[in-house]
Structure 1
Amino acid sequence: MSLCNDCIRGVTHEGTPKGAWEVIGGVNTYVATPRGGRAYPRNVAILFLPDAYGPQLINSRLLADDFASNGFQVFIPDYLDNDPLPPHVMVPGMPKVPFDIDKWLAKHGERQTRPLIDALMRALREERGIERFAAVGYCFGGKYVFDLACENIIQAAVVAHPSLLNVPGDFEKYVQKSRIPLLMHTCPIDSQFPPSAANAADSILGNGKFAPGYVRLNYDGCRHGFTIRGDLSDPVVKKAKEDAFKATVAWLRVHLCASPRGPRYDREAPRIRNVL
Structure 2
Amino acid sequence: MSLCSHCVAGVRHEGTPEGQFTKIGGVESYVATPSGDYPKDKVVLFLSDVFGIKLQNNLLLADDYARNGFKVVLPDLFEGDALPEDALNSGTFDFATWLGKHNAERVAGITRDVISALKAEGVTSFAAIGFCFGARPAFDLAVANELAAVAVAHPSLLQIPADLEPRADPHTHMHTRINRRAQQQKYASQSKAPLLINSCEVDSQFPPEAQAKADEILGGGKFAPGYTRTYWDGCTHGFAVRGDISNPKVKAGKEGAFKATVEFLIKNF
TM-score by length of structure 2 reads: 0.90
Q: Secondary structure at the match of 2:158?
A: coil
Unmatched 5+ stretches in structure 2? 166-185
Q: Is 1:194 aligned to residue 188 of structure 2? A: no
Aligned match for 2:268, one of 255, 259, 265: 255
Choose the corresponding residue for 2:134, options 114, 131, 141.
141
Letter aligned with residue 221 of structure 2: G
Counterpart mapping for 1:83-232 below 5 A: 83-91=81-89, 99-127=93-121, 129-172=122-165, 173-232=186-245
Distance in 1, matches of 2:63 and 2:139, equals 24
Tell me if 1:52 matches 2:50.
yes
* Local SS of the residue matching 1:64: helix
- CA displacement, residues 211-270 of structure 1 (integer Å, 9 cap, x when unaligned): 1000001001101000000001111111111111111111111111xxxxxxxxxxxxxx
Q: Is the 8 A contact 2:201 2:233 kept in 1?
A: yes
CA distance in 1, matches of 2:6, 2:255: 20
Secondary structure of residue in 2 paired with 1:221: strand
Bigger helix share: 2
Higher relative contact order (CA closer than 8 Å, sequence separation 6+): 1
The match for 2:72 among 71, 74, 78 is 74
Runs (5+) with no aligned partner, structure 1? 257-276
Offset, 1:88: 2.9
CA shift for structure 1 position 111: 2.8
State which drifts further: 112-121 or 134-143: 112-121
Q: CA RMSD, aligned part only?
A: 1.1
CA distance in 2, matches of 1:163, 1:99: 16
Identical counterparts, % of pairs: 51
Query: Which residue does 1:14 correspond to in 2?
Result: 14
**4+ long deviations beyond 3 Å:** none
Equivalent position amino acid for 1:132 in 2: S
Letter in 1 for 2:56: I
8 A contact 2:107–2:137 mirrored in 1? no
Aligned residues: 249
